[in-house]
Structure 1
Amino acid sequence: MQMRKACLSAIVTVFISLVLTVLPLAGCGGGSSDGAKQLTLAVNSGVEGDALKQAARDYEAQTGVHINIAEFPYANLFEKELVDLNAKTGAYDLIMLDDPWFPRFASADVLTDLKPFYERRGQAAGPDDDFVPNSLALCRHPYQTGALYALPYVGNSQLFFYRKDVFQKHALKEPATWDEVLAATKIIQEREAAGAPGGGKMYGYVMRAAQGNAAVADFMPIFWAFGAEMFDASGRPTVNSAEGIAALKFMLELGKYAPPGYASFNADDVSAHLLQGTAAMSINWPAWISSFSDPAKSKVTGQMAFTVMPGAKNPGRAEIGN
């Protein structure tokens, strides 16, 4: 267990290997038959995993340490990591954590404080100042004030994606408010009954609403825009305020124009609909931009546009990711 705990801290070297001098990994990983050390990294399959594969190759070239990448769909990644945590098998030396999962692992005493790594590099102050402060705060436990147990990998901030060709076709302007999103959704749904590649139906909007993080991620930008807040000044929950209820009703109305089964969708499902051209709008993460531009993955190459989050009573606000 101590070996696994020590090696979890090495995730920093994989995440920043392309831009910084890598950190020493003495004592980590198991020896292979040829004497080279290796580590196993559990990651989300898809665009995040693809980027890490290249980083791992570069890292091995610099250090001789081989990174075995274990890829899992987002829906299964947490379960795989949690099973390993509870069983204490040490199957993974390095793990990718979505930020909602982080407190559970950080409080379980299986992650290593990264401060000594920085001190050995002469950076007693910690990470470089080019990290977004709010993203870096998520990597500390307790939040913002505690020890640094991880580093942001993606550092995402949500964007609003839409099909610019479809908007131009129907003389629609880039939506600045959620009311404009709903109005455009209705028009597209009505006029694009056979507008998807291959003549299939194009849905005006696609969202992820699977229980837990998925539903929260797509709801919060609407929630905030409608003027709602999670807590009042005294720390009491205010999710069921008039503004919060109005935001939920709006999201359910928007869901009427989403593909069937959206209540169980996660980020991969949303991206699949956008890539296949079967949905015209959605909230998504910048990490997917490369896939939207890849003809091998996308049927709408060059047609996806993105902008800041729409507003309502308040200006648009977005979640930040890991």
Structure 2
Amino acid sequence: MKRLFVGTCYALSLSLVLAACGSGDDLSEETGAEGEEAPDSISVAMVAGQESAAMRPIIAEFEEETGIEIEWNEFDYDTLYERIFNDLQSGSGTYDVIFADDPWMPMFAGGGYLTPLDEFDYEIDEDFMESSRALTTWPPSEGPRMPDIDPEEEPRHYGIPQVGNVQLLFWRKDILGDEAPETWEDAAAMLEEHEDETDYGFVPRGARGNAVATNFNAFMWSHNGDFFDDDWNVTVNDSEVHEALNRYTELAETGPSGVANYGADEVGRAMSQGDTLMAIVWPVWAETMENEEESEVVGDIGYGLVPRSEDGEHAPQIGNWVFAIPEASENRRAAFDFIEWASSEEIQLQMAQNGGLPTRESVLLNEELNEEMPYLEAVHEGLENAEIRPRTPSYSEVEETIGTYLNQVVAGEMSEEDALENAASDIEDIMESAGHYDTE
């Protein structure tokens, strides 16, 4: 296969024009002297699922044009995290490109494991949604920072956002009408008015850990609650969070009796089988809703913003996936060219046509695409209003903690007050151990 070289790096001769090749002095040894060939292959660690399925058929274009083989490694969510984190910690450089869930970025970038993209003279395109761009920076571009981080330190981009996941409200528009409920109070009124028309009203994710915590976050934020204040003081037992949890459990009572064991798949199936009036669902499930072979509600589902409280703002949780380059990779130049190519407007358009979720505004608002995939407009609106999980390496522990107590509330095993008080105490211990409190 033909290889093209410009200066110290090869050029990608695709249907799009990529940024001119170039790298900082600290990369010159890795990329090699002028005329040195690009690597035969680069290794990519990817999450298995629709995120990978939408991208996999397109990578042959990159391979054909560059002569670089993509070693495509897919893992389930937990295995992917384990493989990536172990490789980053050991510095083995097994993977040249990693696909990271956005809450992993503070640990990966903050730990010094990733390559800042300005070393390639890269400036992130403002066509990427603003909330998506914010997920790729360290230190955080907004919100509190750990005490050991200089408040004046400029954020650097350590990745490119590729999958524009954000929570949406799915509802039965054939029963509830074409307009999404604006507030949770509106949603409750709709559920009461139409309670006998489906088996269930609102079906939440109630399973322990990430499942229930992720679902509840949108309630908490939309009721003006949060995990922390600007000094990392724990606030999950504030009155606003109590109000949010009370609303959450009230709506959960309209769902199945076993909802304390429900994760994303169980909620998605309940919607696609026509058993449910509304739920908070990741947009990847929209493909299933509109597939006649898998859905009983084709054309009957509305997609829109997650409701807010009467005095709050819409605050769906963002859940983007980010392409990043391990510092230990020996093929960082080639890895960068791949992720820049993969995140281009043209390739994201192809990815969306394969059922993927773009992060570029131009693709999300593409008129022809929206005729085929009406939920993309809702994804755009969701990303415009999205809330970001706390930018701390400790978030996974925080999430598991509050998710354990929330699950007990949904299961009827603990009172709301005890759950939030216990969660606040445990989370404070986590943050203190992680050094989030300045003891000087």
Q: Which AA in structure 1 matches 2:218? A: P
Q: Is the CA contact (8 Å cut-off) linking 2:89 and 2:113 kept in structure 1?
A: no
Counterpart of 1:45 in structure 2 is: 48
Match for 1:249 among 242, 246, 249? 246
Q: Is the CA contact (8 Å cut-off) linking 1:204 and 1:279 kept in structure 2?
A: yes
Compared with structure 1, are the counterparts of its residues 255 and 42 closer, same or farther at alpha carbon in structure 2 (3 Å cutoff)? Answer: farther
Q: Is the CA contact (8 Å cut-off) linking 2:139 and 2:156 kept in structure 1?
A: yes
Counterpart of 2:169 in structure 1 is: 160
Q: Which AA in structure 2 matches 1:49? A: S
Secondary structure of 1:271's match? helix
Q: Is the CA contact (8 Å cut-off) linking 1:47 and 1:291 kept in structure 2?
A: no
Offset at residue 81 of structure 1 (A): 2.7
Counterpart of 1:175 in structure 2 is: 181
Deviations 1:217-255 (A, max 9, x none): 321221122232444465533221111111112112222
Compared with structure 1, are the counterparts of its residues 179 and 20 closer, same or farther at alpha carbon in structure 2 (3 Å cutoff)? Answer: farther
Counterpart of 1:196 in structure 2 is: none
Give the Cα separation in 1 of the matches to 2:194 and 2:82: 38
Q: Which AA in structure 1 matches 2:96? A: D
Q: Is the CA contact (8 Å cut-off) linking 1:186 and 1:257 kept in structure 2?
A: no
Compared with structure 1, are the counterparts of its residues 68 and 306 closer, same or farther at alpha carbon in structure 2 (3 Å cutoff)? Answer: same
Counterpart of 1:226 in structure 2 is: 223
2:294 counterpart of 1:282? no
Q: Which AA in structure 1 matches 2:314? A: G
Compared with structure 1, are the counterparts of its residues 295 and 61 closer, same or farther at alpha carbon in structure 2 (3 Å cutoff)? Answer: farther
Secondary structure of 1:204's match? strand
Give the Cα separation in 2 of the matches to 1:191 and 1:23: 59
Q: Which AA in structure 2 matches 1:158? A: Q
Alignment of 1:74-89 (within 5 A): 74-86=77-89, 88-89=91-92
Alignment of 1:79-228 (within 5 A): 79-86=82-89, 88-117=91-120, 119=121, 123=122, 126-144=123-141, 145-168=154-177, 174-186=180-192, 188-193=194-199, 203-228=200-225
Q: Is the CA contact (8 Å cut-off) linking 2:180 and 2:302 kept in structure 1?
A: no
Which moved further from structure 2: 87-96 or 62-71? 87-96
Deviations 1:236-279 (A, max 9, x none): 33221111111112112222233455444443443333333343
Q: Is the CA contact (8 Å cut-off) linking 2:51 and 2:163 kept in structure 1?
A: yes
Deviations 1:76-121 (A, max 9, x none): 432343344445554433221111111112233321111122x2xx
Counterpart of 2:393 in structure 1 is: none
Counterpart of 1:320 in structure 2 is: 318
Give the Cα separation in 1 of the matches to 2:44 and 2:266: 24
Counterpart of 1:306 in structure 2 is: 303
Which moved further from structure 2: 132-141 or 66-75? 66-75
Q: Which AA in structure 1 matches 2:135? A: L
**TM-align CA RMSD:** 3.4
Offset at residue 178 of structure 1 (A): 0.8
Deviations 1:61-83 (A, max 9, x none): 33232323333333543234334
Q: Is the CA contact (8 Å cut-off) linking 1:18 and 1:55 kept in structure 2?
A: no
Secondary structure of 1:190's match? coil
Compared with structure 1, are the counterparts of its residues 167 and 253 closer, same or farther at alpha carbon in structure 2 (3 Å cutoff)? Answer: same
Give the Cα separation in 2 of the matches to 1:277 and 1:81: 38
Which moved further from structure 2: 242-251 or 231-240? 231-240
Deviations 1:167-226 (A, max 9, x none): 25xxx9632211232343355553323xxxxxxxxx322223444443333212211222
Identity %: 33
Give the Cα separation in 2 of the matches to 1:164 and 1:270: 17
Q: Is the CA contact (8 Å cut-off) linking 2:226 and 2:241 kept in structure 1?
A: yes
